[in-house]
Amino acid sequence: MEIAQSLFEEREKDSIEATEKIFRTAYECAHSQLSFAEHSRLVTLQQRNGVQCGDLLQSDHACANIVEHIAKQMRSEITKHIIEQKTTFAVMIDESTSCANDQSLIVYLRTLYEDTACVYFFGLVAVEQATADAILTSLLNFLHVHGLTDDILKEQLVGFCSDGASTTMGRIGGVATLLQKNMIKCRYFIAWHIAWNWQ
């Protein structure tokens, strides 16, 4: 098996290297908050500078698919770290409404990595209604899909953070309160609100 893989990699070395360059370019578009339409322009620029990028995966649609693939792999690595290292973590959310009036949650995870507290963008979650129950259901479903089961949440989730909206932080029926009442065993669980600064 290893021999066959080595032979394949040797035979397809140029194609693999070109694909790596395309993936790095797509990642740069996402990381620098560029339009996916910039992907083909950046690839063309590199080719004019003598970089071999191949002939495939140069459209804006290809860029979107590559970025989604990279995001899935990054989410998987974060989840794997939390599960295997049994690290505690906090969930941070903020509500967002698009120009089309579609409601979403921006979800971040904060956890320790090599003794450093790191915040990771974890995903954008569609929400059908802006109620505490609907937000909590959407959030939990999203976390479950990516491997953070109820058992993991009960044992390792130690914090929840959002803005001060009553829907998320209300003492009677906010998301934080529902989460703490129904999900969390950890006695160290803390819910707090923060004023977001997107400058």
CATH number of the domain located at residue range(s) 86-193 in this protein: 3.30.420
148-158 pLDDT, tens digit per residue, is: 998 898 888 88
d(CA 76, CA 23): 18
Provide the residue ranges of all domains of the chain, joining segments of one domain with +: 2-71, 86-193
Contact 143, 135 (CB under 8 A): no
pLDDT band at 12 (very low <50, low <70, confident <90, very high): low
Average confidence (pLDDT) over 61-67 = 92
Query: For residues 161 and 194, is the Cβ–Cβ distance under 8 A?
Result: yes
Say if residue 1's pLDDT is above 90: no
User: Mean pLDDT, the chain, as a whole number?
Assistant: 83
Question: What is the C-alpha separation between 78 and 10, in angstroms, rounded?
Answer: 31
What are the respective helix, strand and coil percentages of the chain, to the nearest 5?
50, 20, 30
Rg (alpha carbons) of the chain, rounded to whole number: 21
Query: In Å, how far are 35, 110, 111 from 116, measured between CA atoms?
Result: 32, 10, 8
Beta strands 89-97 and 157-162: pairing type?
parallel
Across residues 27-52, what is the average pLDDT?
89
In the chain, % of residues over pLDDT 70: 84
Residue 19: pLDDT above 70? yes
What is the value of pTM for the model shown?
0.75
**Selection from 156, 147, 88 nearest residue 122 by Cα:** 147
pLDDT bin (cut points 50, 70, 90) of residue 9 is low
Ranking 39-48, 163-172, 176-185, 189-198 by mean pLDDT, the lowest is 189-198
Q: What is the pLDDT of residue 183?
A: 64
